[in-house]
Structure 1
Amino acid sequence: MSASAPTRVEVETELGSFTLAVDEANAPISAGNFLAYVDGGHLDGSAVYRIVTMHNQPPETPHKIEVIQWGWRLIDGTEPPFPPIPHEPTSQTGLRHLDGTLSMARRAPGTAGPGFFICRGDQPELDEGGGRNPDRAGFAAFGQLVSGRQTIENLFARATSKEYLDTPIQIVRVARLG
């Protein structure tokens, strides 16, 4: 594999597996953070804990999205194994939130770290300048779904009337391929 080829990572969930191509060339900070969680085994036994659909967002939400959020959960006041990372906006990386994009979950710019999401459908409102967050800084896209679309659909089928799942869906293992 050449140095510019994306790193492939397999995510095994209780509903099946999917494979992601991680773009270290265009989004080195976000990709490096994700791969540190993968390589350290910090995502093994984690969970899909949020599924956002067009139907479970408040009706007044102006910029609705559809995403699966997953990763290391901040529970019981425990700190994640790594500090938050600087924000890599889509204007810097050239990446966009298209169908199957892997991106960093965050509250404010510079708070991303242990949470990730996958877009279902194109989500331009998540790019820098998009209206999903009032700060308009967008989210840091850093990878793409390359196989396992059926697993993503199986996960979406488990959405409830609330974004955050009462019973998270287990992620069994996350590992680099090759």
Structure 2
Amino acid sequence: MRLKFSQFLVAFLIIGSLMLGGCSAQEVSLNSSPGSTAVETTTTTAEATSVSETTSESNSGMTNSLPRLEGKATVVITVKGSPITVEVDGTNAPITAGNFIDLVQKGVYDNTVFHRVVRQPQPFVVQGGDPQSKDPKSSQQLWGTGGYIDPKTGTERRIPLEIKPKGEAEPLYSKTFESARVTVAPELQHKQGAVAMARSQQPDSASSQFYFALADLGFLDGNYAVFGQVTQGFDVVNKIQQGDRIDSAKVTQGAENLKVPQ
């Protein structure tokens, strides 16, 4: 169902909240503030290339060093004692799913805060996953600006935007569907209960922050990487308030499908 004009306007005004997820403090200063019209726009002047060509060029040397999920896995996220079961789809989003499962296994999400909850004027998202929010002494103004710092490199691990178009063998990397002139729907869509990565305006800026879709958000399809779906406990998601913490996140099935480069 297409959004009515008024619904689209509301979406246009609140989508900026996602654009701040997973970026550094420096990048935040370059973006619009939450609630503003920070919708990514792209002007394409080059001739459109096929998804397979774009994927081949973008994927070369970029994803080899990142964790990959080959198949599916199940994660149980516990919030205030109540479980949320998420099916993580590495078949259609291997890098995005692999990054999430790897961070779950590292305990990165335990005790982090859901720093952004948007339900008004209509259900939108519940967003969290910033490791900075673990520290109760950290400034709440910084929550939503951080990502996972890899202890091996001392830098923030970032993953490419990864969205698989229907009918394609491989995902499209580092480009939105609009900029790549992809006209088909993604395999993984923003249905109610979808789990996806937050990012800044730069396509390859996602790190650890993720969000739950509180409603069908088709206008985000092709712009943000969905990697999973809530299969049980959506009622728990619906009760999350801003400031609530993740008690724990555990991989309960499919851990053997995670492949981590040595």
- Partner residue, 1:32: 98
Does residue 89 (structure 1) correspond to residue 163 (structure 2)? The answer is yes
* Structure 1 unaligned blocks of 5 or more: 56-63, 129-137, 159-164
* Structure 2 unaligned blocks of 5 or more: 1-69, 151-156, 166-170, 172-185, 254-262
- Partner residue, 2:18: none
Is contact 1:65–1:123 with CA below 8 Å preserved after alignment?
no
Is contact 1:103–1:117 with CA below 8 Å preserved after alignment?
yes
TM-score, structure 1 length as denominator? 0.75
More strand by share: 1
Deviation at 1:81, TM superposition (A): 2.5
**Quick check: which has more Rg, 1 or 2?**
2
More helix by share: 2
- Partner residue, 2:33: none
Does residue 127 (structure 1) correspond to residue 221 (structure 2)? The answer is yes
Count of matched residue pairs: 148
Root-mean-square deviation (CA), in Å?
2.1
- Partner residue, 1:61: none
- Partner residue, 1:58: none
Letter in 2 for 1:17: P
* Deviations 1:33-89 (CA, angstroms, capped at 9, x unpaired): 10111010111111211111232xxxxxxxx76011011344668762341101112
TM-score, structure 2 length as denominator? 0.52
Higher relative CO (CA 8 A, sep ≥ 6), structure 1 or 2?
Answer: 1
Q: Which of 216, 233, 245 matches 1:148?
A: 233
- Partner residue, 2:199: 106
Percent of aligned pairs with the same residue? 28
Distance 2:227 2:250 in 1: 17
Distance 1:74 1:139 in 2: 22
Residues 43 and 127 (structure 1), Cα distance of their counterparts in 2 relative to 1, 3 Å cut:
same
Letter in 1 for 2:163: P
